[in-house]
Amino acid sequence: MAQAAIKRLFMDKIISSVGRGSTNHSADVKIVQKLLNAQKIPDVTVPLKVDGKIGSKTYARIEAFQKKILKMVHPDGRVDPNGKTFKKLSASTNKLGAKAGNNFTFSQKGINLLKSIEVLATKPYDDQVGINKTITEWVKGATIGYGHLIAKSDWTKYRNGITKTEADTLFKTDLIPFVNTVKTKVTATITQNKFDAMVILAFNIGRNGFSSSSILKLVNNPNAPTRYPNLEAAWKAWNKSQGKVSKGLRNRRGAEWAIYSKNVYEKW
């Protein structure tokens, strides 16, 4: 890619028009696709593939933005460097704080919600049975604090329980690899709520599960070939425990998806 094109992509500036009847330089198209993906357009949930190729999907997304956000009666499907559409795209994207995944950290809203989901347990319990069933001997699902799985080698450390302060410290330590996994694996331009949703998901399905998932593939490339029709379906497919659909996991996936798609942080 030419240096001028690299600079434009980094600065989110276009030098030529994009859309219907436009020049459609690849670097400019990529910028517009990226900016469109960062918008919250009503009834639009599937992001564009940021490939620099102009086509019917990009035309339609520009027109949807013009019609639903700019309230244009006759959208023209065109983005000009100094035009109203580009200025609004840039301004609203900056307000949303859209950026690459490795530029985020887990927000306090995300931390608070995840702690409320995992629920504090100061005594060890079997995760396969439930938080109300404390245990006195190590089992494979031995858990304490905010969802911390106890390794057999650590059982003596936790068998008599921990304090809330210790649980908070343990939780912060446990979070680090999951936050880093999302930071490292997500290459798409996202917003804080999407980053938070993926950390909460990864905390539950594991780093390897997240890293190899269709979810990650579709976040990074909406047109990636997977067995699912869209990202929402891929996300909500992680709803089984021991081979059976779990109501708890189904509700959890729904809450995560609400964060990702609607910026709504609520426990079910």
The catalytic site residues sit at 118
- Please name the residue ranges forming H helices in the chain: 3-11, 26-37, 56-68, 84-96, 108-118, 155-158, 164-185, 192-205, 207-211, 214-220, 231-236, 247-262
At which residue do the structure tokens 């019609």 appear?
67
Range 121-124 contact pairs with CB under 8 angstroms and sequence separation of 24 or more: 121/145, 121/146, 121/167, 122/161, 122/162, 122/163, 122/164, 122/167, 123/161, 124/150, 124/158, 124/159, 124/161
Separation between Cα atoms, residue 31 and residue 27, nearest integer Å: 6
- 3-state SS assignment for residue 31: helix
- Six token digits for residue 64: 């949807």
Other Cβ atoms within 10 Å of 210 Cβ, number = 22
The closest of 7, 1, 79 to 36, measured between CA atoms, is 79
Is 245 exposed, middle or buried, given 0-12, 13-18 or 19+ CB atoms closer than 10 A?
exposed
Beta-carbon contacts of 148 under 8 Å, excluding residues fewer than 6 positions away, are 167, 170, 171, 174
Structural contact between residues 43 and 63, judged by C-beta atoms closer than 8 angstroms: no
Structure tokens at 132: 């109300």
